[in-house]
A and B are shown apart, each in its own frame.
Chain A
Amino acid sequence: MKTEIIRKTVGLDHPTVRKVIEIAENLMEKNIVLNIETLCNVAKKELKIPRKGLLFIIHYLIDKKVLIEGSKFSKDTVLLNRFRKKIYKFILSNPGVHFSYLRKKSISGKNISSGKLIWHLGMLIKFNYVKKVKVGNYSILLPFKMEETLGKLYFLMRDPIIYEILKLMIKKKLLIKSEIYKEVNEKREIVYYRINNLMDYEILIANPESEKQLIINPNVKKFLSKILKSSKLKKE
């Protein structure tokens, strides 16, 4: 096919132009970096038209903004989106946050849909900025490099009663359930419910020497002290 033939009838509906677009789509679908060199080489093989004619079509597609300058997201560029960066910063300063809280904080009063928030969150997860961890029925969000145990603790300690219980346990080292209930000064069932939760998550365990007594799981202790020392939860 001669270049001149293309020139006279060029348009987005031109069969060769459509084919070049299809080739570009296929390259992108295969996750191959799309650039003029690749597009030209592949299209030349498939369409058997001269390089000059192909370049003319590529020019035309660039001119019509069908092909635009830019590259696929990378770890560096994914944070260029301001809203995404805000979400990331929020998770950094609120590790272990649940999606509903994130949603409340980031989109209330703003014209942003939950779908859009989840989209950006998904991007942060995909590019290993954030990880999603299951705690019971809950999906919590924490910075990618944060240890899961620490993240879970952050999540649980957002509850003021759990915070009080764990603070008390750090101070007293070992306590039985009723002692905890008395010290926390809340309804019995509420306190017991949380103690059971903490036992389910193996944050509190039975003292090997006396089963009635509860102690903090030694593996969790270092994380707990870290949280209590940090200002992240105290601020809230």
Chain B
Amino acid sequence: MALNWNIEVIIDFITAIFGIILTIITYYSPKAKKIKSLFFIRLGFILFWVFILTDGFSFLFLNKILGLLSGLFIIPATLFIIIGLNYTMKENIYSYGLIIVIGLSSLLIYSGFQPGAVYIEFQSGYLRMAWGGLFGILGMVLTAIAMLYLFYWGIRTWINAPFLIKREALIFFLGILTIFPFGFLFYLLYIFEPIFILICDISIAIGALIISLVVIREPKILYILPFTIYRIAVKSKEGVPLYYHDWSESILNETIFTGFLNAVQLMSEEVMNIGGLLDVNLEEGILILKESKSITVGLVSSKSSKLLRDSVVKFTADFERKFERELKKSITDPSQYEDAFELIEKYFSNFPYKIIESKKQPLLLTGRYLRIPLELENKLRKIFTDEEDYESIKAELIKSPLSFTSEFIRLHDELKDEMKQISNEDFKLLDED
């Protein structure tokens, strides 16, 4: 049997094999391994590469059944991509788009078995397998929906990305743009000239490569949309705050948060018991509470999620293990628990920080770390004998122009001297009362 080798077959095979290898690599990327949404998206992409591979085989063997089969592979590919993207955007697989795709998929299956759905044609100098009628249109519509979804995901991710991963989000979006509209444009042109499918395939492969590399490198991209986590706080059984960490400006201020944690801790003892986990619905978010033998951990986020609950449980267990000695000795100095930052990195590293909104946002060094020459510091300490006064002045100092401290000391000395002189003079100008 003579094989129908042509440029379209070769490009199909190269794209499909490249895509499959790329997708398999993402399975072994440690950072992206356990991400549920990525599992669906990867599955969708694998099926998409299988569709291209089957398409190539149908051309190679000029086999109508393989041609039909390749068309049908679009269904699970589109479904899984949409499910994955829904999950990424809202931690839920359902959407109206999914229902529409399911409906269109049924029609595609029906139309695939109609006469003329798949036929052989001679075009661009070689024999090729073509889809006709409703089957061809629906195949294209389903692909377009999957690509549109990708585009929507990309643009939302880019817009909402915190500045620290904005660059990655932009590259990610550029990858998606290579697929849609760039790749899709050539897919449309393919209706008129089949050779354009080659450019479409290559665009999709390049786009997929960019997306995969960004996701492997920065999986936080996948957690921009589902929810925002604000703060985690750890308290001892006695209610003493031991550690906290912020990802975003909290919806609760610190006092309310701690007070609330205390109240809930007291109220929920019976409900939670030891080792229990509790979700408390707040007006603008949710508080996930985890009670263990010696600590209570509270995490505030915009939504509850299984992933977050699991992370809180694991964080709590590791915190207790890591600081066992400190907790046994009932040490309440928060500085002793600063290393818990490592646990944050371990269990919450995929959640993006949103505290700093822009790389141009002005920052200040807090007084504690501001270097003041010793001589100047001594002078300031003499003037501000009250520690609270001194700290508040130091806080102002970091915002003041550089020369201000020495100017202030000169002014202070001058006014003090003047006050002494005036008190000895017989001049009543100041006795206005």
Closest CB-CB distance, A211 to chain B, in whole Å?
27
Q: CA separation between A101 and B428, bound complex, in Å?
A: 12
Instruction: Write out, one digit per residue, whether chain B residues 141-175 have a CB within 8 A of any chain A CB (1) or not (0).
Output: 00000000000000000000001100000000000
Q: CA separation between A203 and B398, bound complex, in Å?
A: 44
> Which residues, 371 to 406 on B, are CB-close (under 8 Å) to A?
371, 383-386, 389, 393, 396, 398-402, 404
A195 within 8 A of B: no
- Given contact pairs A10-B341, A64-B338, A71-B399, A118 touches B411 in the complex (Cβ within 8 A): yes
Query: Which residues of the partner chain A approach B402 to less than 8 Å between Cβ atoms?
Result: 29, 31
Check A123 against B342 for contact (C-beta < 8 Å): no
Binds B, one of A36-44, A85-93, A174-182, A223-231: A36-44
Query: Which residues of the partner chain A approach B370 to less than 8 Å between Cβ atoms?
Result: 25, 28
Q: CA separation between A34 and B385, bound complex, in Å?
A: 30
> Closest residue of chain A to B371, judged by CB?
A25
> Closest residue of chain A to B393, judged by CB?
A119
B255 within 8 A of A: no
- The one of B341, B365, B429 in contact with A159, judged by C-beta atoms closer than 8 angstroms, is B429
> Closest residue of chain B to A161, judged by CB?
B428
Q: CA separation between A99 and B430, bound complex, in Å?
A: 10
Closest CB-CB distance, B53 to chain A, in whole Å?
36
Binds B, one of A54-62, A164-172, A214-222: A54-62
Q: CA separation between A11 and B306, bound complex, in Å?
A: 31
- A selection of 26 A-B contacts at a CB cut-off of 8 Å is A35-B359, A36-B360, A37-B360, A59-B164, A62-B363, A65-B366, A66-B366, A66-B368, A68-B366, A73-B399, A73-B401, A81-B396, A113-B384, A113-B386, A113-B389, A115-B384, A116-B389, A118-B411, A121-B411, A122-B412, A123-B400, A126-B401, A126-B407, A137-B421, A137-B425, A159-B428
| Interface of B toward A, CB cutoff 8 Å | 163-164, 245-246, 338-339, 341-342, 345, 353, 355-356, 359-366, 368-371, 383-386, 389, 393, 396, 398-402, 404, 407-408, 411-412, 414-416, 418-419, 421-422, 425, 428-430, 432
| Interface of A toward B, CB cutoff 8 Å | 7-8, 10-12, 21, 24-25, 28-29, 31, 33-37, 39-40, 55, 59-60, 62-73, 81, 98-101, 113-116, 118-119, 121-123, 125-126, 132, 137-139, 155-156, 158-159, 162, 236
